[in-house]
Amino acid sequence: MASIATTCSSALIFRRKESISNNNGGSMLHYNGLRASKSRAIKAMAAPTVSAPKRETDPKKRVVITGMGLVSVFGNDVDTFYDKLLEGQSGITLIDRFDASSFTVRFAGQIRDFSSVGYIDGKNDRRLDDCWRYCLVAGKKALEDANLGQEVLETMDKTRIGVLVGSGMGGLTAFSNGVEALIQKGFKKITPFFIPYSITNMGSALLAIDTGLMGPNYSISTACATANYCFFSAANHIRRGDADIMVAGGTEAAVNATGVGGFIACRALSQRNDEPHRASRPWDQNRDGFVIGEGSGVLIMESLEHATKRGANIIGEYLGGGITCDAHHMTDPRKDGLGVSSCITKCLEDAGVSPEEVNYVNCHATSTLAGDMAEVNAIKKIFKDTSGMKMNGTKSMIGHGLGAAGGLEAIACIKAINTGWLHPTINQDNLEPQVDIDTVPNVKKQHEVNVAISNSFGFGGHNSVVAFAPFKP
């Protein structure tokens, strides 16, 4: 730009001298014309024309959703899960998995009566950490939902199908048990499964081992932003041509003494022990922290070209995503919301979506004092007109699933797109006055979703936003 400006200036000076020496009536007009041309050139360089957002049109790079699977506090069936959310039912109860009577927090979104029958053989089921049990069931149910059962998979090129299911904490029970054995009985009593069942990549690995999927396979661990990071990376594998299908999402099982005790130490949890079902209350003035949850949420992401060729049932489209870092604090969000707002902007750019097209936000909304308002402020910074927008907080009913949260919330987004109903944000008794966007308080609402974004943010300042929309050929 500097060289262009210098060239323009040199030419202008030369021509000015030439016109003065000619001393004719048109010299000043010629000079003024050059000056105007220079002014227009500088303005053009300073403010380039911004083209309208364009969505991906190449069927090899368009990423569609062809299956969903989950393990949740409301069971392992996607439809039942969403029906419970629409009813506004809380899945938060007192903990009975371990003796929490001496803990200052004694409740959680604890999964009960979990069954892996038909998905994990009995011998492995007894050994596995719950984190991996949830992952295997959710992943295999998602494959089934996409009509990719084992018989079908055997006819496909499995080197073109990858797995990317992350976890924020990994096998926390396996890790805790291993440390306990070391301290109480010595290193010889540590199980040989201690390391394999503790590390965070094992969900993706075990799912591949059981299904034979040989494409890109790893895990991402960015705390509570994990699942969205996985969706973002999985979609990019498809767009780059590394894979035709990716099994992607998050899994977590931290409702144990170590997990609950650790978050109590962080002073992050609600202490509403007398009414657990009312403890998670995003944007409510009386919120006092989040409620720990668990589970797994997995999507089957597939190139449109591949899904069309195999006649898959397409239930939604992944438009794009964004990831940023606050670079600010281990647990607290930036007060100016810059990390979150820039993440939303990056997501919209990647998706080819204008802010005006987004009319639903599934918020991170953990029910913490600082986090809830920081997110709302960032949303209002990007979306100037929120009159037609709705946002809700899934965590108000199921708690915060940590690394699995984004997976479960992505499923809620896809179900909202397909049913035309948004689940409520429960426990909305005394809304913060600055929250002037419709939070779908306490009762479900009909809403035709044009574009949905789902937000997930994690300790360490990790921000992730993904965008989904109804599929339109």
**Active-site residue set:** 224, 364, 400
Determine the Cα–Cα distance for residues 33 and 27; give it in Å rounded to an integer.
10
CB 401 within 8 A of CB 293: yes
What are the residues whose beta carbons fall under 8 Å from the beta carbon of 322, sequence distance 6 or more? 232, 342, 343, 344, 345, 346, 347, 348, 349, 350, 463, 464, 465
What do you get for the CA distance between the two ends of the chain, in Å? 42
Packing angle between helix 405-419 and helix 78-87, nearest 10 degrees?
Answer: 80
* SS percent in the chain: helix, strand, coil, step 5: 40, 20, 40
Give bridge partners of residue 121 from the DSSP assignment: none
- The H or E element containing residue 236 is helix 226-240
CB 228 within 8 A of CB 406: yes
CA triple 143-225-255, angle to 5 deg: 80
User: Long-range contacts of range 325-328, CB-CB < 8 Å, 24 or more positions apart?
Assistant: 325/460, 325/461, 325/462, 325/463, 326/461, 326/462, 326/463, 327/461, 328/461
Retrieve residue 54's tokens: 């364009």
Rg (Cα) of the chain, in Å, rounded?
A: 26
Give bridge partners of residue 390 from the DSSP assignment: 360, 438
Strand extents, DSSP E, 215-294: 245-252
CB 352 within 8 A of CB 55: yes
Determine the Cα–Cα distance for residues 298 and 406; give it in Å rounded to an integer.
9
| Helix-then-strand count for the chain, H and E | 15, 13
Task: Calculate the CA dihedral of residues 380, 384, 389, 395 and round it to 10 degrees.
Answer: -10
Retrieve residue 77's tokens: 């069936």
Retrieve residue 377's tokens: 């402020």
Task: Calculate the CA dihedral of residues 252, 256, 257, 258 and round it to 10 degrees.
Answer: -20
